Structures are given as C-alpha cells and as structure tokens.
Amino acid sequence: MTRQLRPLPTLFAGCWLALVLAMAATNVQAAPSRLVADLSQTRVDITSGYHGTELLLFGAYEGVPGDELVLIVEGPATDIVQRRKEKKAGIWVNVETFIWQQAPSFYHMFSTAAFDRIADADVRRSAEIGPASGGLMLVAGANVNRGYEGGGDERTRAAEPTRGTSEQEAGLRRNMTANGLWQSKPSSIITQQNMLFRTMLSLPSNVPTGDYVVRILHFRNGVALSERTTDMNIRKAGMSALIYRFAHDYPVFYGLFAIAFAVASGWLAAVAFRRG
C-alpha cells in the first residue's frame, strides 16, 4: 500500500512564510515612531525677584488619528516630610511623622486625553507614569525627625522603610498638589494635523532647584510606541545664589553673620527711635 506524503520543502516553505508574515505584523504594530520634543528654555534662573514663570513645551511626532501623547516634567528626587495631626484638648498637635524617601520634588503631567483612556493602569505603571508609579517608600515612627536630622545612632534605630498605603499616598499627593508641585492636566496638549504638539508649563515661585527630566511618550491603541527625553535645569542666580552657597558652604560663619546683622539692625533701630 502506497501512502502519499506531502513534500517537505513545500511544508517548510509554508511554515516559513507564515512566520515571516507574523513577524512583519508584529514589527508594524510595535515600530517606534519619530518623536522630537524641546522647551522654550532649558535653563531657568531663580533670582530674588522670581515669582514663577511659564515655559512652552513643543515638538513633532509621526501620528495617525487616534494617537495620544503624555508629557511628564519631573524634578530631582528628595525626602519629603509629612505629619499627621489630631485635635487633642482643643489643640491640633502632630501625632505621627512620615518621611517619604526619594520622592519627586516636582511632577507635572500633561496629556492629549484622559489618562485612563490613553492606556490602562498596568501600562501606565510599567511606563512609570505617575509620581508614585514606582511605589514610594516611607519611614515612620517617633524617632524619624531625630534620626534624619541629627544623624548618629538615632538614625539606625528608626523604623525600616515600608511602602506607603493608598491613604498615605493620597495625603502626600494632596499636600504636594496644594503646593503646586504635583499637577495632573489631562487634555492639555494641543496637537495639529497629527504632527505638531504644544503645551504650557507653569513653574511656581517655590519650584525646587536642580536637574529636571522632561519625558514625552507617544501612545497608539493603548501601547507606548516611542519615548523622548530632554533635560532642564533650574538654579539660583544673583544675590540669592551667593547667599545660598555661602550658607551651605560656610554654615558657622553664616550663623555668626546673621547674629551680628540682627544685633546691628536692632541697635540702629534703637538709635533712630531715640533721636526721634
């Protein structure tokens, strides 16, 4: 009895063609798009007369109808102190202190649509979208302040870092938002012809100094196609910068100068009023 066998070259050719088509479809879906972003100023000087400023964030991208953009401006990481108060005997007192370790000192988010419409929570978390996307760690306990301000053995006896609860993170977000340091502005990026985009960044008067990272992400069908980053620096300048550097480089002399200046000012004021 003779059995008809399918030629192996034909079978291999069919499998190879199917594999090539599948890889081509995957590459088309995940192919990164071209993305360019920049700022109207990459360096901001904080002087004694600084009361805030606005910067233009703009760029270009290769998009199609339905594409979305997310833009993030993140400041240097720092430790943030948060205190919980309770009313006891008619007086509000601090009953608990937390220190958030290496939290963003500044975090402003912009987008072309609502964030949950652009991508789901897991995608946004994997793309590190959000000030607490990486899971902020905190130290809590009675010795937190002494441990972090005084140094020495008290610091080693402080509580171990733990992840903050959703309620604690909500309190941190509420405080930082009230100070203008954390902001979320959906539907604030203006696009033109799926090619150009722009938005305005408002820097408050209390903006922290340091190196900033500006990220722009291009989304399509809930998937991040490409990302571009650029840098921005905010620094103190003028007389305020000289005083700041002197206070940090020579704290003892700065303290003595402050005391001498206060005594001299009081003496001059006393002399002026006495003559009057």
CA distance 29 to 22: 11
Whether residue 106 contacts residue 74, with contact meaning beta carbons closer than 8 Å, is answered with: yes
pLDDT at 88 over 60: yes
CA distance 171 to 105: 15
pLDDT in tens, 118-128: 999 999 999 99
pLDDT interval class at 106 (50, 70, 90)? very high
Cα–Cα distance list, 259 to 116, 254, 264 (Å): 55, 9, 9
The pLDDT score that the predictor gives to residue 221 is 94
Q: What is the residue-averaged pLDDT of the chain?
A: 80
CA distance 135 to 241: 34
- Which 8-state DSSP code applies to residue 9? H
Q: Name residue 233's beta-bridge partners.
A: 43, 211
The pLDDT score that the predictor gives to residue 11 is 44
Average pLDDT over residues 79-93: 83
pLDDT in tens, 214-252: 999 999 999 999 999 999 999 988 666 666 666 667 777
**CB-based burial label for 205 (10 Å; 0-12, 13-18, 19+):** exposed
CA distance 86 to 94: 7
Considering only CA atoms, which of 134, 131, 137 is closest in space to residue 99? Answer: 137
Taking the CA atoms of 265, 268, 272 and 274 in sequence, report the sign of the dihedral they define. positive
Considering only CA atoms, which of 180, 181, 163 is closest in space to residue 98? Answer: 163
CA distance 63 to 35: 9
Of the chain, the end-to-end C-alpha distance in Å amounts to: 130
CA distance 201 to 180: 12
pLDDT at 13 over 70: no
Considering only CA atoms, which of 205, 204, 213 is closest in space to residue 71? Answer: 213
